[in-house]
Structure 1
């Protein structure tokens, strides 16, 4: 059995960092979506406030994931945060395509969501 080189271990660590940061981001997303649902039920929010809440959830979740990735990486934190935000968006897009078989909101909405996710993750990485 061959021993793994130091670089292979480092590569595995990076993959684990990203997976952990994505898990963190999606846990935050789940908690915040539950809170938004509770607010929707109790306060009867209109569509504009729900849309704003969902947008805020994207930014807060990717910020948390980017922050976590930056804490784990300790170097080039903003890149790891950006990577987390981009992968968060990619997974979100795949889930949307899997459920609806189309992209909701048009191209400009998708671009805006991408920039919010990427920016939130990068900001989280920079702050860490």
Structure 2
């Protein structure tokens, strides 16, 4: 009986680490894609709207990756844990944006990004 209780505690403690791992991999993917977008911006004549679309697509795929990795690690209710990974990704994105820009963007834009990040994380969790 003592062993099974210990095993449950280890599994429950690993859930936050699984979410952190998923978010970390999501940000690694984001960094790679932003570097690629930067290269494309300097190499070709890309408009600001095309860069914006590239950034939004990067956020969506990053949260899908974060949700997928989190869901693969946790397995039960993977879509819920994936959505949590997407939400944490969004929070870190907003905090970083506020630190760099010293302001919060438009409210409509923030809610759109929240929906995309949580939706992407949920989708990734569902695919896991």
Distance across 1 between alignment mates of 2:68 and 2:100: 29
Gapped regions of structure 2 (runs ≥ 5): none
Deviation per CA, 1:74-126: give whole Å up to 9, x if none.
1111001100000000011111111222112x000000000000000100110
Distance in 1, Cα, partners of 2:11 & 2:104? 36
What is the CA-CA distance between 1:8 and the residue it aligns to?
A: 3.5
Alignment-derived partner of residue 34 in structure 1: 35
Q: Does 1:113 align with 2:113?
A: yes
Structure 1 runs of 4+ off > 6 angstroms?
none
| Number of equivalenced pairs | 125
Q: Give the RMSD, CA atoms, in angstroms.
A: 1.5
For 2:94, the equivalent position in structure 1 comes to 93
Instruction: Give the superposition deviation at 1:10.
Output: 2.6
SS at match of 1:44: coil
CA distance in 1, matches of 2:121, 2:13: 21
Gaps of 5+ in 1: none
1:1-128 alignment, distance < 5 Å: 5-104=6-105, 106-128=106-128
The C-alpha deviation readout for 1:21-48, integer Å capped at 9, x for no partner, is 0111000000111111111111121011
* TM-score, normalised with respect to structure 1: 0.92
